[in-house]
Chain A
Amino acid sequence: MEQKLRQEAKALLEQGKVDWIIGFAPGSLKFTTTPLITQDKDDAEQLVINPFITNNLANFLTEIKGRVGIVAKGCESRSIVSLIQDNKVARENLVILAVPCPGIIDLAKIERLVGKDRDELDDITRDGDRVSVKVDGKKKEFPIAQVLFDHCLACELPTPQEYDIILGEPRLPAPELKVSGQSIASLKEMTPAERWASWENELSRCIRCYACRNVCPACFCQRCFVEETEPQWTLPMPHWQDNLIFQIIRNIHVAGRCTDCGECERVCPVNIPLRSLTREMYDIVGELFQFKSGMDKDALPLMVHYEQEEAEDFFR
């Protein structure tokens, strides 16, 4: 798969079919990758596909000018389609290199399972439905349901639907909704007062680094509402109540655009379980509007159109 990707990417640049390639290169730390954004055909040799290609590369599309060849997992392809729906990128300017994705390994879960930090592990390898972790010379095996990201366990589209070149055999979805929905389920079991207290606790840690927003392909506003001063919707300092307002409004803004790629939660440096908000919104959108974001590039974006026959009981 990697060899094919490198050849295709190199050819696309050589033949002038694209100006840019966006993919993944090896990262500088163990078990990491880093986004590779390049115009140089020789850089194609650095491209990798492995269980650690975490970033949602669609995030870079709105700031790059020209034609782009982009590596896309299922979630990325949905973010790309969503951006096309919103007229943020043009389909004809893209060459989508589809990666049928078997799910990405959540290093935080492995750290909890083996009681060591990621840089203390010797090796992590995946073989089918099992992941083995080598630590202190010993091998420990885990089923993938224990070590993939929650959003990967809920994935409905491992293989992009919208693509130009496919790298490997398509994979069918095999969601593990029960496992992936555990943290949301436990929140739902709480009383409203307990849930409020829980979010107060979680959001009190927020430092307003805005990584959740900046890593999100659906957060493409030129100017975020938190940066408005007239009126000032929320203060820029990290009062937990202001942090809550920020997250609630962000969630409403990305409703119908969020593809549950899980990046917001992954990048949060202070471990706020943000996917519990985004996935819940994703499910609400599905339930209320029978809408799944990023599935059909010709469909109108959810929040910008309205049909006469839409039931008014929506305004409850």
Chain B
Amino acid sequence: MNKKVSKKDIAQLLKTWSQQFNVLAPSRDSGVAAMAEWDGKDTSFLDWYRNTVVPPKASFLPPMEAMFRFRKDEEGYQIEPPAKNGQKQLLFGIRPCDARAMAILDMTFEDAYKDPYYLEKRKKAVLVGLGCTNPCESCFCTSMGTSPTDPTNVDLMLIDIGDHFFIEEVTAKGKELIAKTSGLKEATKNDEAEAEKARETAYNKVSRKLDTEGIKDNLLESFDDEDFWEKVAAKCISCGICTLLCPTCYCFDINDELVKGEGTRFRSWDSCGFSLYTKMPMENPRQEKWRRVRQKVCHKYEFYPMAFDVIACTGCGRCIRLCPVNWDITQVIESVPARVKGAK
């Protein structure tokens, strides 16, 4: 039997979980909406939260992360791993689009090379999803294999049914957590029906649609259409917003911070939108803006499907909402020449 929790009791629930986890919840305290350490009382996000600006990937692949410290002495270089943060993170309120993005990121970080920095945090974490009731105008999740209440990639999924949240226990990890959590109520048949209604209502509120059928092949066919790519790239200003704040973009740069014989190696978010990203001693294969724009689109809609059989976009809409020039990925995908030709 499923459980439910009263909205009034969310603070209590998070307090309980705080004993075992480092609880993160949506917050605007830093000046921008992001997942942040829960302060022990504030649940006002339940009123304002639609989605964060900074995607939850930041809790696993931070904008900047120390990889190790190093020191040079008579015997050579001494390497010191970073202080381990043994705490397990519980992300409360992650949206289904961003949870799917985490599953997409896992594919890369668990592939041929197992990335210890990412996986260490990721494997221990619990994701508690919160279904959307008010998707944004820029959202198109229902076209990207998920939906505003999709439980697939979270451990627990909460669905708004008025005064309560209906709790879907998705994974063993989620079930275990619920079993150990006291104070939850049994959901009734009626609650279940309400949850189903909420799912349908939210689904129908996502108005932006994108047909991605065959897009991988379309992009392959139009890859060399320089005129097209130049045209769609014209207004792009080559900033890093759409990539750095994309929940599925994972590129990072590595730099050393050096102070007299010792230092720290950091990795930090990087973007294929930057012209320096591919600069090598002899050449830069993506010197021109249109090549970088093409890379961004194709990585998500062509190369990722080739490698992992999934499009690396979940329709969260951040890149559309936050773009300084309203460069809209859905319009670009729809206008790929091979696609337009095929539709005729």
Residues of A whose CB lies within 8 Å of any CB of B are: 27-30, 32-37, 55, 59-60, 63, 117, 119-120, 201-202, 204-205, 207-211, 213-215, 227, 235-239, 263, 266-267, 269-272
- Give complex CA distance A120, B50 in Å: 12
Please judge, given known A-B contacts A210-B239, A238-B63, whether A269 and B255 are in contact too, CB under 8 Å: no
Please judge, given known A-B contacts A211-B237, A211-B241, whether A201 and B268 are in contact too, CB under 8 Å: no
Q: Do B326 and A29 have beta carbons less than 8 Å apart?
A: yes
Q: Do B138 and A29 have beta carbons less than 8 Å apart?
A: yes
Residues of B within 8 A of A204 (CB): 30
Segment among B177-185, B194-202, B269-277 that sits at the interface with chain A = B269-277
Q: How far is the CB of A186 from chain B (nearest CB, A)?
A: 15
Q: List 16 A-B pairs, Cβ < 8 Å.
A: A28-B330, A29-B138, A33-B326, A34-B327, A35-B234, A37-B234, A55-B325, A119-B138, A207-B245, A210-B274, A211-B237, A211-B239, A211-B240, A213-B239, A239-B64, A269-B245
- Give complex CA distance A270, B52 in Å: 11
Interface residues on B, range: 35 or more
Would you give the 0/1 interface string for B250-280, flagging 1 where the beta carbon is closer than 8 Å to chain A?
0001010100000000101101001010000
- Give complex CA distance A119, B138 in Å: 9
Asked if B310 is an interface residue, CB under 8 A from chain A, the answer is: no
- Give complex CA distance A130, B54 in Å: 34
Q: Do A30 and B137 have beta carbons less than 8 Å apart?
A: yes
- Give complex CA distance A272, B241 in Å: 14
Q: Do A269 and B241 have beta carbons less than 8 Å apart?
A: yes
In the complex, the 4 A-B pairs of residues with the closest C-beta atoms, listed nearest first: A237-B268, A119-B137, A209-B240, A211-B239
- Give complex CA distance A35, B325 in Å: 6
Residues of B within 8 A of A201 (CB): 30-31
- Give complex CA distance A267, B322 in Å: 8
Summarize B's interface: helix, strand, loop or mixed: loop
Q: How far is the CB of A83 from chain B (nearest CB, A)?
A: 16
Residues of B within 8 A of A272 (CB): 31
Residues of A within 8 A of B69 (CB): none
Residues of A within 8 A of B276 (CB): 227
Residues of A within 8 A of B31 (CB): 201-202, 205, 270-272
What number of A-B contacts does a CB cutoff of 8 Å give?
A: 112
Q: Do A207 and B240 have beta carbons less than 8 Å apart?
A: yes
> Most A CB atoms within 10 A — which of B64, B138, B237, B244?
B237
Asked if B331 is an interface residue, CB under 8 A from chain A, the answer is: yes
Q: Do B53 and A269 have beta carbons less than 8 Å apart?
A: yes
Q: Which of B41-90 contact A (CB under 8 A)?
A: 50, 53-54, 63-64
The chain B residue with its CB closest to the CB of A209 is B240
Contact partner of A28 (CB less than 8 A), chosen from B238, B253, B266, B331, is B331
Q: Which of B300-344 contact A (CB under 8 A)?
A: 320-322, 324-328, 330-331
- Give complex CA distance A215, B331 in Å: 22
Residues of B within 8 A of A34 (CB): 235, 325-328
Residues of B within 8 A of A202 (CB): 31
Q: How far is the CB of A205 from chain B (nearest CB, A)?
A: 5
Contact partner of B257 (CB less than 8 A), chosen from A27, A60, A213, A235, is A235
- Give complex CA distance A27, B324 in Å: 11
Residues of B within 8 A of A235 (CB): 255, 257, 266
Q: How far is the CB of A269 from chain B (nearest CB, A)?
A: 5
* 4 additional contacts (CB under 8 A) given A120-B134, A239-B64: A29-B326, A119-B138, A207-B240, A215-B324
Asked if B136 is an interface residue, CB under 8 A from chain A, the answer is: yes
